[in-house]
Chains A and B, each alone.
Chain A
Amino acid sequence: EAQVTQNPRYLITVTGKKLTVTCSQNMNHEYMSWYRQDPGLGLRQIYYSMNVEVTDKGDVPEGYKVSRKEKRNFPLILESPSPNQTSLYFCASSLSHSGGEFFGPGTRLTVL
């Protein structure tokens, strides 16, 4: 089954404790991205990747890092999480950056 998977689905952590949210797609897509979704603000892109070893900042990259060592994986790293990073996070992938994206199921992150 073609899908985008994210782990964990739910995470409660404390300020400053490094965490990684994994994302994997099995569709051989070149383009992958991370979004955060907040009430009243909609979906905002954090980082995106056009292909392996090619990443770039989206609209709200501050406080986040990503890596794209393999085509299928695109982890999101929060080196020192803060409460304002409490949000619902979505990973997405598509054949190209100009195509419709397939979204993962979401990761609900709470930073205390």
Chain B
Amino acid sequence: GESVGLHLPTLSVQEGDNSIINCAYSNSASDYFIWYKQESGKGPQFIIDIRSNMDKRQGQRVTVLLNKTVKHLSLQIAATQPGDSAVYFCAENYSGNTPLVFGKGTRLSVIA
């Protein structure tokens, strides 16, 4: 498999439990945030996004929470499944004129 997961913080979760992956972002002017999932040997895959005028957004089994006061973003995965095992990245963007800035990532391991 790919070596991109080395040196990453790891979260181990029992299958069926809920997972919470956290991300601290750096730019207080950022107004758009995305969570990506990267499985071994594949490119990052878009999961869910949120704009700064919201503090919560829900998708299928996933919820993103945004706390602008402390510049914190979290991804909650309900009923975690083995297929959720991957590296998860947050990304931020200021819609004025800057490209996405990615976090270092968190490896999620689901224990069957």
Contacts and interface: CB of A to CB of B under 8 A. Distances in A.
A90 B100 CA distance: 14
Contacts of B100: 45, 101
Given A45-B99, A58-B99, A40 B6 contact: yes
Interface string B90-110: 000101011110111100000
Contacts of B6: 39-40
Contact of B32 (A92, A98, A102): A98
Interface stretch (B43-51, B60-68, B71-79): B43-51
A101 B4 CA distance: 19
Q: Which size bracket describes the interface of B in this complex?
A: 20 to 34
Nearest to B46: A100
A92 to B, nearest CB: 8
Interface string A71-100: 000000000000000001010100001111
Q: Is chain B's binding surface mostly helix, strand, loop or mixed? A: loop
With a 10 A CB-CB cut-off, give which of A88, A98, A99, A105 has the most chain B CB atoms: A98
A44 B43 CA distance: 14
B86 interface: no
Given A37-B4, A42-B89, A90 B105 contact: no
Given A97-B93, A97-B98, A106-B2, 19 more contacts: A4-B43, A37-B4, A39-B5, A40-B6, A40-B7, A41-B104, A42-B103, A43-B44, A43-B89, A58-B99, A90-B43, A92-B43, A100-B49, A101-B46, A102-B46, A105-B43, A106-B42, A106-B43, A108-B2
Interface of B: 2-7, 32, 34, 36, 41-46, 49, 89, 93, 95, 97-100, 102-105
29 contacts: A33-B99, A37-B4, A38-B4, A39-B4, A40-B7, A40-B104, A42-B102, A42-B104, A42-B105, A43-B44, A43-B102, A88-B2, A88-B4, A90-B44, A92-B43, A97-B93, A97-B97, A98-B93, A100-B46, A101-B100, A102-B46, A103-B36, A103-B43, A105-B43, A106-B2, A106-B41, A106-B42, A106-B43, A108-B2
